[in-house]
Chain A
Amino acid sequence: MNPRNIGLILTRELKSYFSSLTVYLVIVMFLLMTGYFFYNLLATFSVVSVQAQADPMLARQYQLLNINETVIRPLFGSISIILLLMTPLLTMRLFAEEKKTGTIELLLTFPVNDVDVVLGKYLACVVVILAMILLTATYPVIIVVLGTPELMPILTGYLGLALLGAAAAALGVFTSSTTENQIVSASISYGLLFFFWLISYSVPLVSAGLGQVLAYLSINEHITSLSKGVVDSEDLIYYLCLVALFLFLTLRSLETNRWR
């Protein structure tokens, strides 16, 4: 591993990201969609609050809830789904494009380790994802200005989003390394991400033991606990394992390309 080479590849990838329209489109779509959810959640909250002032029954019921439960948690849920929809669009070009145009031939014959190439590209994508996630921080800031939410769940929620983004990016880097077609890469990413998303729906249908395993494998189970403000090392390990697994698979996929 050579930090300088990782840095060089990372910067080149970032420049390349921001010199194409795709990344701006993805960021704008991401903000529009998350903004829409935020607006709706907030509007619903304020309508219910106004009604609660006139209706003591409703007010009592509503006390049990708070802004964390009614706005922030569902907000993190929506942001994470939208994030999963966006990452394949960011990762699909990383290797597929180089394979298509042939630049991979120069890249892999430069005196650089494959690990540095993979990490450089991966981290560039993670930087874009983190920037996207940070832009959504305007929503909690608005909530803090308007009300008094608990801060911890907001912070752990963001940790969760960052980890989710990091895992989805690793998965996308891997699929991009398996093909020279960006659309194919994105399609496989969506397939795999939805698999990790949907297995939680099978939990009630299988035996308790298997159910636990499926629940552990499911991406969204881990987001839920983080957006409640609980940082469990199990969740951290889960995401980091996904990252390590897919980056390892990417390396292997580059290697088999060489062997063909």
Chain B
Amino acid sequence: MIEVEHLTKEYGDFRAIDDISFTVEKGEILGFLGPNGAGKTTVMRILTCFFPPTRGKAMVAGYNCFEDSLNVRKRIGYLPERVPLYEDMEVADYLRFVAAIKGTPAKEVQRKAARVMDDCGLGEVAHKPIKAISRGYRQRVGIAQALVNDPEVLILDEPTVGLDPKQIKEIRKLIKDLAGRHTVILSTHILPEVSILCGRVIIINKGKLVAVDKPENLRAEGSRRTYLRISGEARRVEEELARLEGVSGLTREQAADDTQAFILAFTDEKRGRQAINSMIERNHWDLIEMRPIEASLEDIFIKLVTREEA
């Protein structure tokens, strides 16, 4: 649905994004993750045809964002980062305007606007001027205007930034409900958000692509490590463990008296676990604790980003 190839954008001499390539399949929710200034907004502005890339190519639904921009723009809904709306218009009036300008036939404008207000829970504020509604409602109006013509692709730039926790929850639910019906790209600098919302995540930093994967795989990359605590004689436990097949990267940890603690990585998880179990049985030791160490996305993010900088 979306193909991005070798995308580069320069503002004067400053390279905001550098040779970024990725694809997004139909129905997917892709998370765009990166610290502030990473270039997320820049990529989104190219995808929405706000400006062309300096080099490279972006395709949406088979159309080139630069050469065939009108066809691309017909198929996307966009929520810009600052949620710029016409402050002096009433919510319902504004959504009717957007529906019409996106090519909805005049007869259906009213119905589409009403439906999207329903979907986004805007009934209460329908006749309030936009300048008078809360931040959470603004965000919903922003999402509603992106959704109003039922676009194939939704591009949401930091949809939960600046909201309070309750509003964040509501907006996330709203986005989650969109999955399947639309292809969604959303950017965020909040890590847990991608594991909640996205099927796949792209990490960018300083304009460069750092990683593309499923959130759980990214996490797994750092989580094949296991914490193990055994009661037994220290020297022998270490010797036997080091000899086991499927176990590597053994490091000793501090532990209470009589117990030995290690952090290890499995090269082959199933065989490694079996080997540990039979070793314990053979020696009549006690297994006190064995648990995988969940690396948080934060850890992975920091690892990836610092690896890039190193």
Contact = CB atoms under 8 A, between A and B. Distances in A.
Contacts of A20: 88
| Range of interface residues on A (Cβ < 8 Å) | 20 to 34
B84 A102 contact: yes
Interface in B47-106: 48-52, 70, 73-74, 76, 78, 80, 82, 84-89, 93, 97-98, 100-103
B51 A101 contact: no
B88 A105 contact: no
A134 to B, nearest CB: 25
A106 interface: yes
Contacts of A109: 48-50, 73, 76, 78
Contacts of A8: 97, 100-101
Contacts of A9: 101
B214 interface: no
B103 A111 contact: yes
Interface stretch (A11-19, A155-163, A236-244): A11-19
B78 A12 contact: no
Interface of A: 4-5, 8-9, 12, 15-16, 19-20, 101-106, 108-113, 258-260
B86 to A, nearest CB: 6
Nearest to B12: A260
A105 B87 contact: no
Contact of B80 (A106, A112, A259): A106
Given A111-B70, A111-B74, A12 B86 contact: yes
Given A16-B86, A19-B88, A102-B84, A110 B51 contact: no
8 contacts: A8-B101, A15-B93, A101-B84, A106-B145, A109-B48, A109-B49, A109-B50, A110-B101
Main secondary structure of the interface of A (DSSP, over half): helix
| Range of interface residues on B (Cβ < 8 Å) | 20 to 34
Interface of B: 11, 45, 48-52, 70, 73-74, 76, 78, 80, 82, 84-89, 93, 97-98, 100-103, 145
A12, A105, A258, A260 — which one has the most chain B CB atoms within 10 A of its CB? A105
Given A102-B80, A110-B101, 6 more contacts: A15-B89, A20-B88, A102-B82, A106-B78, A112-B73, A259-B52
A109 B155 CA distance: 11
Contacts of B145: 106
B87 A101 contact: yes
A258 B50 contact: yes
A20 B50 CA distance: 28
Given A8-B97, A110-B102, A111-B102, A103 B48 contact: no
Contacts of A15: 89, 93
B97 to A, nearest CB: 6
A107 to B, nearest CB: 9
B171 to A, nearest CB: 18
Contacts of A110: 73, 98, 101-102
Contacts of A111: 70, 73-74, 101-103
